[in-house]
Amino acid sequence: MKVSLNYKNVLKFVSEEEIKNNEKATLVALDTLLNKKGAGSDFLGWIEYAKNYDKEEFARIKKAAAKIHANSEVLVVIGIGGSYLGAKAVIEALKPYFCQKKDLEVIFVGNNLSSTYVAELLAYVKNKDFSINVISKSGTTTEPAIAFRLFKELLIEKYGIAAKERIFATTDKAKGALRELSTTEGYETFVVPDDIGGRYSWFTAVGLLPICASGIDIDELMKGANDAYNDCKNTPYLENSSLLYSSIRNLLYQKKKCIEVLVNFEPKLSYISEWWKQLYGESEGKDHKGLFPASLVYSTDLHSMGQYIQDGMRIMFETILNIQNPETDFTLKSEENNLDGLNFLSGVNFDSVAKKAMQGTILAHVDGGVPNLVLEMEKMDAYHLGYLLYFFMFSCGISGYMLGVNPFNQPGVENYKKNMFALLGKPGYEELRKKLLERL
């Protein structure tokens, strides 16, 4: 498989025998997932999506992306949660750290309630050519709805009637306020499939339009995802890194390791971790169960959280995402006077310093009582990233069923929304408002 799992450093905590004995439970979960036997089975449209996706819409996405490229300096992407994290993760992972001037800038908004962020972005795009991709499956989520109202207003101010040519809406095929608005105003629309939840939707139009507009090869992403589907589905348990990852993280959870820390050594991949946290947190954190998904970037965080990982409460394990070959590398040189004492590194590649830091960290943390898993991938490009994201989704479905929860709903997300509406005075929430105000 293109993502392989090294679990040598969990064997002090979970035995080979326990892993072998967990095969049956893992295969039951696999069968539940693939044969739609479990809770949430009406949200499994993502399983075969990389093969079955709507090819006509895919072509329209490419056309819309080309149009945005031709007439815009900035694409403002409005969405929250599953409606933005996948695209943000892919773009950050695959684009250069420092933007080339001629590149289209893809900027995300509507994913927080910072008045400062919104005001500064409005000012930033005011004198630039820009387009909007507003993304909301329900079409009613407050954060993106407010942002859309503000950016649409600015767009109309700039372009008048032609503004609607610069608005692309991704939403439910038939219902919701955004669908109605789009039909009334005549925006080009893309569909969030009914049977795919937000955190599983990065490879639908939800993620693909912003990703394609940023210049990333979406054919390769889909190919990677489809290959991952075939591999995850068909590879036998002891060679299947997806099944083993699901199995071992559940065994660790049973041994009271309640936090999984996803670690990478490449800051570009921070948003992959953010997307992963949503995926696992929303899928597994229910019925008072579930591993708490956390993330760190090393070596940066070894100088902050490293102390806790090494020596704090023994409640976590680490999963390191190791990209074997960096996009770019270079050799360190020797210096005549060697005043900094670094000549022992001359001729050494910069990335191999990172690899040694990784190995040293694994050994230290395992000695400190932190089980360690390593997910290895040869390189990070569109194909491998598509593979990786699918790998995580598949593993999450299996893992959620092993835990005994519905991995495809998120009932807990609604509670804060109701309270916020009540406190804002939204009609229909009067009773709740009274109760909440008494408590404040």
Catalytic positions, written as ranges? 282, 303, 417
Residue-wise DSSP of 114-149: -HHHHHHHHHHHHTS-EEEEEEESSS--HHHHHHHH
Q: Which is nearer to ligand PA5, 138 or 349 (CB)?
A: 138
Q: Which is nearer to ligand PA5, 73 or 195 (CB)?
A: 195
210 is a site residue for ligand PA5 (CB under 6 A): no
Compute the distance between CA of residue 125 and CA of residue 57 in angstroms, rounded to an integer: 28
By CB under 6 A, name the one of 1, 19, 80, 134 that touches ligand PA5. 80
**Residue 210 Cβ, how far from ligand PA5 at the closest point, in Å?**
14
**Residue 30 Cβ, how far from ligand PA5 at the closest point, in Å?**
23
Identify residues 271-330 at the interface with ligand PA5 (CB under 6 A).
282
Per DSSP, what are the bridge partners of residue 170? Answer: 135, 190
Compute the distance between CA of residue 272 and CA of residue 74 in angstroms, rounded to an integer: 22
Binding mask 140-169 for ligand PA5 (x = CB under 6 A): -x--x-------------------------
By CB under 6 A, name the one of 38, 198, 386, 397 that touches ligand PA5. 198
Q: Is the preceding peptide bond at 299 cis, omega within 30 degrees of 0?
A: yes
Residue written as token pair 């080009």: 188
Q: Which stretch binds ligand PA5 (CB under 6 A): 27-35, 196-204, 233-241, 267-275?
A: 196-204
137 is a site residue for ligand PA5 (CB under 6 A): yes
Residue written as token pair 């990982």: 309
| Rg of the chain taking only CA atoms, in angstroms | 23
Say whether 290 sits in a helix, a strand or coil: coil
Q: Which is nearer to ligand PA5, 33 or 134 (CB)?
A: 134
Backbone angles phi, psi at 323, to 5 degrees: -95, 115
83 is a site residue for ligand PA5 (CB under 6 A): yes
Identify residues 371-400 at the interface with ligand PA5 (CB under 6 A).
none
By CB under 6 A, name the one of 197, 224, 281, 290 that touches ligand PA5. 197
Cα–Cα distances in Å, from 335 out to 304, 338, 414? 31, 5, 60
86 is a site residue for ligand PA5 (CB under 6 A): no
- Residues with Cβ within 8 Å of 167's Cβ and at least 6 positions away in sequence, in order, are 131, 132, 134, 152, 155, 185, 187, 188
419 is a site residue for ligand PA5 (CB under 6 A): no
Q: Which is nearer to ligand PA5, 135 or 213 (CB)?
A: 135
136 is a site residue for ligand PA5 (CB under 6 A): yes
- Residues with Cβ within 8 Å of 108's Cβ and at least 6 positions away in sequence, in order, are 77, 78, 79, 84, 87, 88
Q: Which is nearer to ligand PA5, 81 or 386 (CB)?
A: 81
Q: By the 8 A CB rule, do 173 and 191 touch?
A: yes
Q: Which stretch binds ligand PA5 (CB under 6 A): 69-77, 136-144, 217-225, 244-252?
A: 136-144
Q: Which is nearer to ligand PA5, 91 or 248 (CB)?
A: 91
* Site size toward ligand PA5, by CB under 6 A: 15
Strands 3-6 and 259-264: unpaired
Which residues are at the interface with ligand PA5 (CB under 6 A)? 80-83, 136-138, 141, 144, 197-199, 282, 410, 413
